[in-house]
């Protein structure tokens, strides 16, 4: 299974913000949309960074509530690891494990076309395993 198949099931919507949005706005969006990370996009729609709930917690712990008024650009991760529709679930699981992050934006021809979270990966992996197990049981019963 690949990432394009996951996007087909979950849709291509990606929550984004501009680099100058204050951290308080990010918190509101994360809570409203019940998600764990937001992609930060620049003027030309290019991916400028990613900010997750972990970054915000760390910033608050380090510097206190004053950071809530600061632009997200000061707290986001700028070296974003992305993938393509052709990337496989196994590849992305490896990328998430090695990088210790739970979100990977999907970029095709320079455009942001989706995002996958570790929750999406686990959900589809479990479905895949269930299908394999049913196929194996059918095979054993009919052999």
Binding residues for ligand AMP (CB under 6 A): 36-37, 50-55, 77, 79-81, 101-104
Q: What minimum distance in Å lies between the beta carbon of 9 and ligand AMP? A: 20
Q: Which is nearer to ligand AMP, 41 or 51 (CB)?
A: 51
- List of E strands, 31-110: 37-41, 47-52, 103-108
Q: What minimum distance in Å lies between the beta carbon of 85 and ligand AMP? A: 16
Query: What six digits make up the tokens of 126?
Result: 């479990």
Q: Which is nearer to ligand AMP, 55 or 120 (CB)?
A: 55
Return all residues near 21 (Cβ < 8 A) that are at least 6 apart. Answer: 40, 71, 72
Q: Which residue is nearest to ligand AMP (CB)?
A: 52
Sheet-wide strand order for 47-52: 16-17, 37-41, 47-52
> Whole-angstrom distance between the N-terminal and C-terminal Cα of the chain?
27
Q: What minimum distance in Å lies between the beta carbon of 105 and ligand AMP? A: 6
Q: Which is nearer to ligand AMP, 87 or 101 (CB)?
A: 101
Kindly state the DSSP code that residue 51 receives in the 8-state scheme.
Answer: E
Distances (CA, A) of 139 to 125, 131, 133, 136, 142: 21, 12, 10, 5, 5
Q: Which is nearer to ligand AMP, 53 or 70 (CB)?
A: 53
Q: What minimum distance in Å lies between the beta carbon of 112 and ligand AMP? A: 12
């Amino acid at each position: 299974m690949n990432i394009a198949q996951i996007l087909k099931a979950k849709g291509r919507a990606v929550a984004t913000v501009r680099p100058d949005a204050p951290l308080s706005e990010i918190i509101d969006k994360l809570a409203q949309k019940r998600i764990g990370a937001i992609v930060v996009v620049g003027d030309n729609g290019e991916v400028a960074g990613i900010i997750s709930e972990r970054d915000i917690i760390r910033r608050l712990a380090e510097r206190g509530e004053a950071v809530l008024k600061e632009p997200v650009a000061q707290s986001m991760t700028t070296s974003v690891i992305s993938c393509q529709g052709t990337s496989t679930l196994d590849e992305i699981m490896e990328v998430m494990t090695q990088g210790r992050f739970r979100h990977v934006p999907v970029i095709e021809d320079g455009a942001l076309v989706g995002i996958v979270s570790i929750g999406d990966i686990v959900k589809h992996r479990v479905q895949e395993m269930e299908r394999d197990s049913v196929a194996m049981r059918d095979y054993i019963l009919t052999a």
